[in-house]
Structure 1
Amino acid sequence: MAAPIGLRSRRKPTIGKPFLTPISTCLLRQKLSMSVIIRSTLAEISSGLSGARKHPAGGLLSNSIQHKAHVMSRMTVEQLRQDLPMTGEVGYFQTGTYGPASDSVLQAVRETMETEARHGPATPAGRQSHTEREAAARSGLARMLNVEEEELGIETNTSRAMQQIVRGLDWQEGDEFVMTSLEHVSTYGLSYSLEQQHGVKTIVLGEVYDEHLLGDLASVLTERTRLICLSHIASPNGRLLPCKQAAAIAHEAGVPVMLDLAQSVGQMPVDLKELDCDFAVGSGHKWLLGPMGTGYMYISQDQIPGFHPNFIPDRSPWSLPDAPTPAPTARSRTEIGTYNHALVVGLGRAVEIMESIGLDKMQERITQLSGRLRQGVGHIDRARIITPQEPGKSAGITSLMFDGFTKTDLDGLVDRMHERHQTVVKSQWLTAPPDPVKVAMRISVAAFNDESEVDRLLEGLDEEL
């Protein structure tokens, strides 16, 4: 059976602190947020308002003056921490599940919705409000990932984005879907669906240490292998997988690769051209600290022509008879209908903040705090780190196992850490389907955490164990 165009073609890999009361904390956050707004607004005013025009309802309205008033000047990690409301309440180590949205992100979402409501979403003012900001959000995300805007589509989360891509391929009975044993549970669910609906065979690579993974991957690829799915960083234990090397092996066999970026983008620089993947999916609400309900997908330029989701035509029914069919893009082939403009704008603000601080700075801070955590865990009886500790093998996720603990025991420990020590961590299955003895505490150390929170976490574990 001949494979569809664009899916099996061979191609060369691209080488390519003082104590603060709740009141003082709130005032400090307001001061920081206002300083950003004031600096940006003054810059706008000093550049001249010759391009401004009068809004019909009254008042000056320049092209994106409101947006520019909130563009981030250079931020620091400490300023990011002060922009997160929950940092005054708990030590939050659950960013790998749900990252907290900052006041700045919430403000961007709120302003967009309020402007649409005030002026009407279909009026020129309403359209301008979200169109300019949304365009900036899409270009910012593309810049962060080092891809073209035409290669990106927006979705609501990683799982839905993955469903979009996988179900846009022409699966036949006997085709093969390759994944690792460390993939997210939703990926397992998708593989079961492929088996039941299309008779696709799922091949799970159990050995995920680099030398074994790459060797096993090369050995399982056949003429029926249609897609390989790898997590850039594994959700259960934080292992950083050798995705670039895996892509080179896959492309030598003419097999496309899809990367799950949910646990990497936002805590380290990610260059998709360097990783040389064909497809990628990710979340806005985890390490990017964007609003809930945001995700994205990447489809490389050479894969777009052969990617045919069954619910979106290339030619709109509203097109004039003689109008040319536009060149397909990831957006045109994955996005359909009305969506929440404000959430896309909020995602753009989150990306803007990350770029303002610098993802290299974020990674540096995460590495520092994770090292402090792992060193401290080494002195706690019954606790064992299962996350790789060699440099370059992991990032902000540290997973712990405890001798003799069942899932019920671990759930109780997680609850006590919150109730007694104001520390939020996660009880995590290590496999799907669940294995009763393979459970761990997953600790997601983000750049906005601080040393006192890490120390409180360690003290809490030592006390509870």
Structure 2
Amino acid sequence: MISRRTILGSIGSMALGGSFGGCAAAAQALDGSDDFVSRYDVDRSITNFDAAYYGAMTRGVMAAYRANGDWVNRNNALFLRSALPGPTRDERLQRSVEAVAGLIGAEVGEVALCGGGTEALYGLIVNYRPLEPGDAIIMADIDYDEMQHAMAYLEASRGATLVRIVIPEPSTAANILAAYEKALSDTPRARLLLLTHISNRNGLILPVREIAAMAKARGVDVILDSAQAVGQIPVDVDALGVDFMGFSLHKWVAAPLGTGGIYIRQGRQQDIAPWLGNHIHPDTDIRARMPTGTVDFAARLTIPDAIAEYREIGPDRKLQRLLAHRNRWVEGAREIRGVEIVQPEEPGRYAAIGAFRLPGQKSWEDAQRVQRVFIDKHRILVVAKRGLASGPVVRVTPALFNTAEELDRLVTAIHAERGMFG
């Protein structure tokens, strides 16, 4: 059994709350890029800067997924009903659970597989038991849309008071901590706080450990959305001090689509009700907190292969590559008059995800127009995002498979469209 304190290769050497390396280290990460690029078989007719949506599988993981799909199809119900000699269906899946638990520093019984971060977080938020009518729940503008919907559902269905806060810009650690300190101090009946580890809107990395400690001191539970964090930066549930977390594996771990995990710390499972009264598994089993319908078992069987390649690449090396990509386009775009980089600059507050606004870009319609023009005219995929209090942005999320030439093409396109709005 993999324990919470298993050392996960080089990931343990990286500070969870601090800088992820200097510019020199990041610049060096672009060296040997063929080693990264050759791992992928992706369509390059459009340059893809949307890794925050789906981190494509490598050739090796894709081959494992195909092989697992063939095996599941060949054995069909014999596998599903555990009629084959040898390990049962659940025993085969346990290898994936152990790999995921090791990835985040959890005990095996604290983790269950699911369809992704959104599914896991819905299960945690809407089934959070300790909430009483009149209790307050807190969320921020950087939180993911669907998780905001889940928090609003608690307000509508459970009589909670929903408190919305705005993360200040510039988003320094001091400013962020002050915003959460004020929200918690001003909300004496606060019971639940939704935290987003890395915002899908602008890539802001919250100082989770400090905020979680601040909340715990006031008796407030934290549900952590780590959908964009697991596989992009080091994630260790003990170091973070959180009891509840949902995350994806098909983004930065690059497992097959529709894979993710839910984490509930030992001793806290009864604070999350079973999914819609699910009694397929006992109430003491974390799997009762997730849907139990028929899933893509081949995808789940492939999770250990994806985690093994993630470790083989090296978490530190991977992150430095992503930071080098981010720095290359951000530094180029910053030189273009009027372009706004909507991303924190404090070390440790960002990784791969970033965002920009063109001069004069203000509305959601403007951001959507930028996305369309970049695809149609420049054959580059960037993504319009709304939700930040400061206004809509255009998100850029490089992947490991992107090249320096593609990043330079992005900067050229931003320069070409700087006058789009007059």
C-alpha distance in structure 2 between counterparts of 1:310 and 1:262, whole Å: 20
In structure 2, the residue matched to 1:245 is 210
- CA shift in 2, pair 1:205/1:412, >3 Å: closer
Cα distance, 1:446 vs structure 2: 2.4
Query: What per-residue deviation string (whole Å, max 9, x for no partner) do you get for residues 9-32 of structure 1?
Result: xxxxxx99xxxxxxxxxxxxxxxx
In structure 2, the residue matched to 1:413 is 370
- CA shift in 2, pair 1:353/1:172, >3 Å: same
Q: Which has the larger radius of gyration?
A: 1
Query: What per-residue deviation string (whole Å, max 9, x for no partner) do you get for residues 153-178 of structure 1?
Result: 12212222111112222232211111
- Of 128-137 and 94-103, the range deviating more from structure 2: 128-137
C-alpha distance in structure 1 between counterparts of 2:380 and 2:278, whole Å: 49
Answer whether contact 2:275 2:290 (CA < 8 A) is retained.
no
What pairs with 1:423-434 in structure 2 (closer than 5 Å)? Answer: 423-431=380-388
C-alpha distance in structure 2 between counterparts of 1:260 and 1:388, whole Å: 19
- CA shift in 2, pair 1:408/1:217, >3 Å: closer
What pairs with 1:192-341 in structure 2 (closer than 5 Å)? Answer: 192-208=152-168, 209=171, 210-221=173-184, 222=187, 224-309=189-274, 311-312=276-277, 328-341=284-297
What pairs with 1:186-197 in structure 2 (closer than 5 Å)? Answer: 186-197=146-157
Cα distance, 1:136 vs structure 2: 2.4
- What letter corresponds to residue 456 of structure 1 in structure 2? R
C-alpha distance in structure 2 between counterparts of 1:328 and 1:77, whole Å: 47
In structure 2, the residue matched to 1:354 is 310
Q: What's the secondary structure of 2:56's corresponding residue?
A: coil
What pairs with 1:150-189 in structure 2 (closer than 5 Å)? Answer: 150-170=109-129, 171-189=131-149
**Number of residue pairs matched?**
379
Q: What's the secondary structure of 1:230's corresponding residue?
A: strand
TM-score, normalization by structure 2: 0.82
- What letter corresponds to residue 178 of structure 2 in structure 1? G
- CA shift in 2, pair 1:309/1:404, >3 Å: same
Answer whether contact 2:40 2:59 (CA < 8 A) is retained.
yes
Answer whether contact 2:343 2:354 (CA < 8 A) is retained.
yes
What is the aligned-residue RMSD (CA, Å)?
2.7
Q: What's the secondary structure of 1:226's corresponding residue?
A: strand
TM-score, normalization by structure 1: 0.75
Q: What's the secondary structure of 1:144's corresponding residue?
A: helix
* Selected match of 1:458 from 398, 404, 411: 411
Answer whether contact 2:136 2:160 (CA < 8 A) is retained.
yes
Answer 1 or 2: higher relative contact order, Cα 8 Å, separation at least 6.
Answer: 2
Gaps of 5+ in 2: 1-15, 18-31
- CA shift in 2, pair 1:409/1:305, >3 Å: closer
- CA shift in 2, pair 1:126/1:311, >3 Å: farther
Answer whether contact 1:233 1:261 (CA < 8 A) is retained.
yes
- CA shift in 2, pair 1:224/1:385, >3 Å: same
In structure 2, the residue matched to 1:59 is none
In structure 1, the residue matched to 2:20 is none
Cα distance, 1:110 vs structure 2: 2.3
Gaps of 5+ in 1: 1-14, 17-75, 317-325
C-alpha distance in structure 1 between counterparts of 2:328 and 2:249, whole Å: 27
- CA shift in 2, pair 1:120/1:393, >3 Å: closer
In structure 2, the residue matched to 1:142 is 101
C-alpha distance in structure 1 between counterparts of 2:295 and 2:163, whole Å: 36
- CA shift in 2, pair 1:246/1:163, >3 Å: same
C-alpha distance in structure 2 between counterparts of 1:92 and 1:126, whole Å: 44
Identity among equivalent positions (%) equals 26
- What letter corresponds to residue 440 of structure 1 in structure 2? V
Q: What's the secondary structure of 1:86's corresponding residue?
A: coil
In structure 1, the residue matched to 2:350 is 394
